[in-house]
Amino acid sequence: MICRRGQWTALLGFLFLFSGCIPLDQADRHTAPSLNFSECPELFPTGPWESVYQIEAIISGKVFSSLFGVTKGDPAQGRLHSLLLTPEGFILFEGELGGNGIVVHKSVPPFDSSTFAGGLMEDVKTLFLSPAGRPKIGREAMDGARFCFWEGPDGFRTEIRGSADQGWQILRRDAQGETIKEVSLNGPYIQGLATHLKLRSMKPASYRLKMTLIQVGP
Amino acid sequence: MKRVLLIGIFSVVGLLSPRAGSAQDWASMTEALRNIRSIKAEFLQQRTLPILTKPLLSEGRFFFQASGSLRWEYLRPLRSVMIQKGNTLEYYHFSDGIWKPEVTQAVETRRMVITEISRWFQGRFDQSTVFQPLYSPGPPGRVILTPREGVDQFIRRITIFLSNRIGVIDRVEIEEPGGSRTSIEFKKIEINSSLSSEIFEKP
């Protein structure tokens, strides 16, 4: 078990070292009409919700697992409760993100490290929770595509770009401006949730998640 | 005082014995299961989680050969298959129109689950190193599996509901600490029919 955890950590370390540096996108510098901040796209559920997505995790081109990702969220409280399940229903990970940070309720190797818990809950937050506060910039390009970005106190940025026709993209950048997560969302939207999501993570580990909405509630 | 103690000991021994019900029923049930050479069935799995208002439903089919082969396949909502041949366990996932091999996680745990399922279908409940069986003649007849120390963190109890048709399992219910549960209901069960060897090959 220790050996397997070591291999997993080594793999993540390897992927981290060899993940490419993505140059800072210049989209926010384009000349375009400014938007009222209320016109920035709202891609996230606004009330309490629960969802089940089918997840295909791909690392180094290999399908690592087909899993169920179950999430219950309360945007007003900034709370998320997530589970990863095997098709047989076996719980690999269960954790919550809230006012007290991340609380892990259940985890089995190799999903039992604090690094994994932090990364998973960060992904869930990027996918389902609107960035805090008002956007710093909101613009609309000539083709109707919108661009808005939020900057956090840590210098990390969240950008949302796209249109209803082209689909939407969420980008997370670190304080150096390098893209660390890239999410594409495609409809139809059910109760504010995109049916198809693709997440590409560049840092701290390189992997891709392909997600399909299966069930939504309440 | 001694009599009370003896009654207590016998009660505990009785509860822990697989023959808590009728010894005849237990013997005939396990014998019938041990005569099974193959099983083909469909199943409906209901995963109940405290955070979900509706259970997560999955449908699939399974094929079992007592010689050591098992195919456990999910058809909806996600398509994946687990194939066991002897000690080899392989997982495949259907995506973008093709079957892709999986580098799956929690292999040992999933292997343990498959080994246990294989034992249940052969009536070898008492060979488990993980669960303690208790037979209740019912109706419906049930085998209650209580986890030994360690596994009880993940599973509180497994109840196997037996069909009126001797040697056939109708339903399995797995209860976990915290209120989560899984129910697997079997249907269209065919016993000892001929199964093609291709069923246990990679898809």
For residue B15, tell me if it sits in a domain: no
A98 vs B: CB within 8 A: no
CB contact under 8 A, A54 and B78: yes
CB contact under 8 A, B182 and A215: no
Q: Which domain holds residue B54?
A: 20-200
For residue B182, tell me if it sits in a domain: yes
Quote ipTM for the complex: 0.79
What integer pLDDT is reported at residue B153 of this predicted model? 76
Question: Number of C-alpha atoms within 13 angstroms, CB side, residue A83?
Answer: 22
Q: Which of A94-98, B15-19, B117-121, B179-183 has the lowest mean pLDDT?
A: B15-19
For residue B124, tell me if it sits in a domain: yes
Contacts of B123 (CB under 8 A, 6+ apart): B29, B30, B31, B32, B33, B34, B36, B167
Q: Which residues pair with A133 in a beta bridge?
A: none
CATH code of the domain in which B110 resides: 2.50.20.10
What integer pLDDT is reported at residue B15 of this predicted model? 33
Query: 3-state class of B165 per DSSP?
Result: coil
Domain A2-217 indexed as CATH 1.20.120: no
Percent of the residues in chain A that have a pLDDT greater than 90, as a whole number: 42
Continuous H helices in A113-203: 114-128
Q: How many angstroms away from the CA of A56 is the closest CA of chain B? A: 9
Q: A111-170 pLDDT, tens per residue? A: 888 988 998 999 999 999 988 888 887 787 777 788 888 988 888 999 999 888 888 999
CB contact under 8 A, B54 and A88: no
Top-confidence residue, A19 or A101? A101
Q: B71-127 pLDDT, tens per residue? A: 999 999 999 999 988 888 888 988 888 998 887 666 666 777 777 887 888 888 888
Q: How many CB pairs under 8 A join A and B?
A: 90
- Which of these, A143, A171, A135, A126, lies nearest to A26 by C-alpha position? A171
B46 vs A: CB within 8 A: no
A81 vs B: CB within 8 A: yes
Q: What is the mean pLDDT of chain B?
A: 81
Chain A: residue whose CA lies nearest to B153: A106
What integer pLDDT is reported at residue A182 of this predicted model? 96
For residue B36, tell me if it sits in a domain: yes
Where do the DSSP E strands lie in B12-163? 38-48, 56-65, 69-76, 80-85, 88-95, 98-101, 131-136, 142-147, 157-162
Q: How many domains does chain B have?
A: 1
A104 vs B: CB within 8 A: no
Chain B: residue whose CA lies nearest to A210: B95
Q: Which of A177-191, B17-31, B71-85 has the lowest mean pLDDT?
A: B17-31
Q: Please report residues of B whose CB lies closer than 8 A to that of A89.
A: 45, 47, 56, 58, 174, 182
